[in-house]
Amino acid sequence: MIERSLFSEHHEQFRDTVRRFLEKEVAPHHARWEDEGYVDREVWTKAGEAGLLCTSMPEAYGGADADKLYSVVLFEEIARQGYTGLGFGLHNEIVAPYILSYGTDAQKAKYLPAMARGEVVGAIAMSEPAAGSDLQGIRSTATDAGDHFLLNGSKTFITNGWHADLVIVVAKTDPSAGAKGTSLLLVERGMPGFEKGQRLKKVGMKAQDTSELFFDNVAVPKANLLGDVNRGFVYLMQELPWERLQIAISGIQAAQSAIDWTLEYTKERKAFGTTVAAFQTTRFKLAELQTEVQVARVFVDRCIELLMQKKLDTATASMAKYWCSDLQCKVIDECVQLHGGYGYMWEYPVARAWADARVQRIYGGTNEIMKEVIARSMGLGGR
């Protein structure tokens, strides 16, 4: 196995902190959370107390001013154990960075410290019943009403939506301008007309609260406009490389964990008088899977290096997202097969990982969209 060179001693110390937190505060409860469809609210404040939230935010806003590698460590450790109920990644490295990058001083001072403490849970509302990967097709509108916007519309598949205290809502402020008429609004829990719908029952990621959101003439103050009016689509595109790389990072770690579980299982499971691992077909299959994951890991680590150098482009991040999420699904499916009937039992982590993996090819932009982005970077235009 190729030794990774990304992380310093400090990063590995943080990894130990994350593992201890997961063992103490998550492991005893995650099965119950899967049944209930959401995590306990207090795990957010405990994560804040442990220093796991918004680590890359400046110290002035409650963060640790840490580099993105600390967030990579958090993604990997959550994926290693399959604790997909935790929406920390989206909160830490999607919602908070939008506020840091495009928010006013007042917005940053108001929201970021509370997010770092886990007192405010963040979400971002893009997808709609009729608009998923095609963000240009969103129908939610924010009409200028003087000192505020009147927000109307609905969103679905919103991660952290049930617990969310603050939601970045993507809406059309100029419906006639297409993508150029999109803005981002900061909508707070309790604003009149803002309602949360049912928690959605998913095939996998059952402990992660995912819900519908509804906006009926919500008066959003102009002070809650994030960035400039009609610049929302540009902001979304600028943040996409990091968002898509996060999916690749988690995906490749989940695939590695599935191999590790399967290796242990096949060494112990007996069939026809010997262990399952003793059969050549098992050994060759695991060798194939490990090779593919190792190759993908090297590419993802290189993408992380480019991110740290501020050189990661959208097309390369799209390659990582598409390739690693496809590979994740393939690897875990093969590992389920090697577990036999037990691989289909929910009590086995490989079964839960199999169910959790499928959405990786869909969210963050479907893999078909990833291929379109890559093709266009090659000078291959579509219609």
Compute the distance between CA of residue 237 and CA of residue 241 in angstroms, rounded to an integer: 8
Could you tell me which of 75, 82, 22 has the C-alpha nearest to residue 304? 75
Could you tell me which of 92, 54, 95 has the C-alpha nearest to residue 236? 95
Query: N- to C-terminal Cα distance for the chain?
Result: 44
The DSSP secondary-structure symbol of 29 reads T
Q: Residues of 60-79 as b/e, b for ≥16 C-beta within 10 angstroms?
A: ebbbbebebbbbbbbbbbbb
Catalogue the E-assigned strands of 49-128. 122-125
User: With contact defined as beta carbons under 8 Å apart, do 160 and 181 qualify?
Assistant: no
Q: Is 243 considered catalytic here?
A: yes
Coil/strand/helix, residue 159: strand
Q: Kindly give, in sequence order, each residue whose CB lies less than 8 Å from that of residue 5, ignoring residues fewer than 6 positions away.
A: none
Q: Estimate to the nearest angstrom the gap between the alpha carbon of 239 and the chain centroid.
A: 13
Looking at 23, 243, 268, 292, which residue is catalytic?
Answer: 243
User: With contact defined as beta carbons under 8 Å apart, do 186 and 107 qualify?
Assistant: yes
Phi, psi for 245 (deg, rounded to 5): -65, -35
- Altogether, the residues listed in the chain come to a count of 383
Tell how strand 122-125 and strand 166-172 pair up.
Answer: parallel
Could you tell me which of 267, 282, 280, 288 has the C-alpha nearest to residue 331? 288
Compute the distance between CA of residue 37 and CA of residue 80 in angstroms, rounded to an integer: 21
Active-site residues: which are they?
A: 243
